[in-house]
Amino acid sequence: MTVDEIKALLIAKVGEGVVIAEETPGLQSVLTIQPDKIVDVMRELRDNPLTYFDFLACLSGIDHGPEIGKFSVVYNLTSIPYQTQLTLKVMKDHTDRSFENLPVFLSVNEVYRTADWHEREAYDLVGIYFEGHPDLRRILLPDDWEGFPLRKDYKNAEYYKGIKID
């Protein structure tokens, strides 16, 4: 299926306004999805015999920086039988940079089990909270680490548990 056909399918199955934007000039097309519809979109793309995107290859959290005030999650899907790839993106405004008020996106773990550790990594490094994730906790850094190292405004700590770090 072409990206236009996938877009039309999603609008027909999930509803008008589900696809917010489309980027097609690159090597791979990107559909920006309404954030509260991402689970429905993922389920439709996985279960529909016309698309059968059976593999979530990657999930990445992105901090667009404090000046822009947005966070995104990018999903790289693959249909192994159809030998097709598709990139989906969800984006939200979020200007509060505090640790107490993280940007919140829906977990797709119930659709793709591979999302489990991908979402934990995005939480750990970017500070994105995935609502509905069954075990959202740090995966790479120690539990008591302060901050999220892949945020644009992250400042490296000088010491961790009395050990000087760079």
Tens-digit pLDDT profile for residues 59-100: 999 999 999 999 999 999 999 999 999 999 999 999 999 889
Mean pLDDT of the chain: 95
Cα(105)–Cα(128) distance, rounded to whole angstroms?
7
Average pLDDT over residues 119-130: 98
Tens-digit pLDDT profile for residues 10-29: 999 999 999 999 998 778 88
Tally of domains within the chain: 1
Average pLDDT over residues 124-152: 95
Phi, psi of 163, rounded to the nearest 5 degrees: -105, 130
Check which CATH number belongs to the domain holding 160 and give it. Answer: 3.30.460.80
Taking 3-state DSSP, the helix, strand and coil percentages for the chain, each rounded to the nearest 5, stand at 20, 30, 50
For residue 158, the model assigns a pLDDT of 87
Q: Which residue range forms the structural domain that includes residue 124?
A: 3-164
Burial of residue 56 (number of CB atoms within 10 Å: 0-12, 13-18, 19+): buried
- Quick one: tokens of 63? 């901090």
**Which residue, 48, 33, 41, 54, is CA-closest to 10?**
41
